[in-house]
Amino acid sequence: MKVPHRLYLTEDQMPTQWYNLRADMKEQPDPMINPATMKPAAVEDLYPVFCTELAKQEMDATTRYIDIPAGILEMYKIYRPSPLIRAYNLEKALGTPAKIYYKFEGNNTSGSHKLNSAIAQAYYAKQQGLTSLTTETGAGQWGTALSEACAYYDIPLTVFMVKCSYNQKPHRRTVMNTFGATVIASPSDTTNAGRAILAEDPANSGSLGCAISEAVEKAVSTEGCRYVLGSVLNQVLLHQSVIGLEAKKAMELLDEYPDVVIGCAGGGSNLGGLIAPFMQDKLTGKAAPRVVAVEPASCPSLTRGKYAYDFCDTGKITPLAKMYTLGCGFKPSPDHAGGLRYHGMSPILSKLYHDGYMEAVSVRQTDVFKAATMFAKYETILPAPESAHAILGAINEALECKKTGEAKTILFGLTGTGYFDMVAYGSYIDGTMSTYVPTDADLQKGFAGLPTIPGIQ
């Protein structure tokens, strides 16, 4: 069979259920802990922050398949199914016997996979009769995705945007404004969390963790408002499983199965979604694909972090999650892998990594942009810097195949496009881009702030 360059499933081949990976895990991630009681969090503990249906999804470790509501499928169909692409030209340029496939999630205005979960979260909030939502955004993709979803379901949205991105990417802000969202640079003087950080450090350029704290504070102090988060959480990985389910179905139509599945890892949502059905095969003994997370050397939570309970935010308001973390006080350098600069990693992926089901590598920024520009030339898609981590991972696998002569099948996630990252591309092209790698002493500062939990850590 001749594999087409781009395979699009038809609308009726789209998944109608999400897949919940936890249902097939031999051991569950450790439970979230309520920092007020230092006891495992109950679903009710989440209700002040998350809407009810999403709090339930967050805690549900047993329902294997969850129906995607018709109101969500309706919006999914505006930009899905997303194509599975065979990277023929990249393969040729690399001279590799490997077959490289990628699942492209950049086909919507947010330019990333994040819309898959934004839609679900906005939909359930509307169903519950909530009157507003709030969130944080780092590089801007999540804020844009949620703005799109909130516009569609007609819910007002406030986005706390990490200050350095707010200043670096004014057009991102305008896109969010176009969809009707209010955008505030974080740290801001609109919350206690923001004011506390500014009092200590007026020039603070912001971080995802700090923006999360501000958004959570606004949610719990505003009637009818809830907080939504674009990554890390179990519910987000659940929604993102649509990526993997489509990819697996498309590969089945081609009579293909990946030997290795590769994704970039920030908070872990695209990777968790892409690998979900393949990891299911691995957990149930049906197949044994390798799974590789690629993270930036500047923010190496899996490869150099500690597996420990930590807050999901700098303001220490969220429940504690057991995950690979650099410490919620870790300050990543303001480099360009915006969407990957998060101190922690999805508890589900952390557990799988800890138990040996997954590998992780860290890569340097300049190498990432070298891979990004090569990919752009041969595949004509300008990748997001985050996605380019996965591209580099795939290129490295393919070059390994060239050495060994193996014709492996490689699948990677191309999570988005990089049109708002031209400052980063520019600095790569003019040779001023640096690669920051934290020292052990830098990391030690973050670890020193890990919480103490009596009897646990």
Ligand X SMILES: *Cc1c(COP(=O)(O)O)cnc(C)c1O
Residue 231 interacting with ligand X (CB under 6 A): yes
Stretch that binds ligand X, among 263-271, 303-311, 401-409, 435-443 (CB under 6 A): 263-271
Site for ligand X in 416-445 (CB under 6 A): 416
Stretch that binds ligand X, among 202-210, 242-250, 269-277, 360-368 (CB under 6 A): 269-277
Question: Residue 387, SS3?
Answer: helix
d(CA 80, CA 325): 33
Beta strands, E only, 220-335? 225-227, 260-264, 290-296, 306-311, 320-325
Q: Which stretch binds ligand X (CB under 6 A): 73-81, 264-272, 301-309, 446-454?
A: 264-272
Among 415, 420, 438, 450, the residue binding ligand X under the rule CB under 6 A is 415
Nearer of residues 266 and 315 to ligand X, judged by Cβ = 266
How many residues lie near ligand X (CB under 6 A)?
Answer: 19
Q: Are 104 and 131 in contact (CB under 8 A)?
A: no
x/- mask, ligand X, residues 61-100, rule CB under 6 A, reads ----------------------------------------
Asked if residue 267 binds ligand X (CB under 6 A), the reply is: yes
Comparing CB distances to ligand X, the nearer of 191 and 270 is: 270
Which region, judged by CB under 6 A, interacts with ligand X, from 125-133, 169-177, 266-274, 396-404?
Answer: 266-274
- Residue among 320 and 340 whose Cβ is closer to ligand X: 340
Q: Does 241 bind ligand X (CB under 6 A)?
A: no
Nearest to ligand X of 276, 401 (CB atom): 276
Instruction: State how far the Cα of 418 lies from the Cα of 88, in Å rounded to an integer.
Output: 21
Q: Which is nearer to ligand X, 191 or 269 (CB)?
A: 269
Tokens for 103, please give them.
């699942």
Picking from 229, 195, 413, the residue whose alpha carbon sits closest to that of residue 321 is 229
Q: By CB under 6 A, tell whether 244 contacts ligand X.
A: no
Tell me, rounded to whole angstroms, the distance of Cα 232 from its chain centroid. 7
Q: What Cα–Cα distance (Å) separates residue 303 from each residue in 261, 265, 276?
A: 18, 11, 21
Task: Phi first, then psi: give them for residue 85, nearest 5 degrees.
Answer: -115, 135
Q: What angle do CA 89, 94, 97 make, to 5 degrees?
A: 90
Of 20, 82, 108, 112, the one binding ligand X (CB under 6 A) is 112
Contact 339, 427 (CB under 8 A): no
Q: Structure tokens of 100?
A: 């490289």
Cα(321)–Cα(308) distance, integer angstroms: 8
State how far Cα 412 lies from the chain centre.
14
Q: Which is nearer to ligand X, 157 or 340 (CB)?
A: 340
Tell me: does residue 328 bind ligand X (CB under 6 A).
no
> Where on the chain is the footprint of ligand X (CB under 6 A)?
112, 114, 141, 231, 264-271, 339-340, 384, 386-387, 415-416
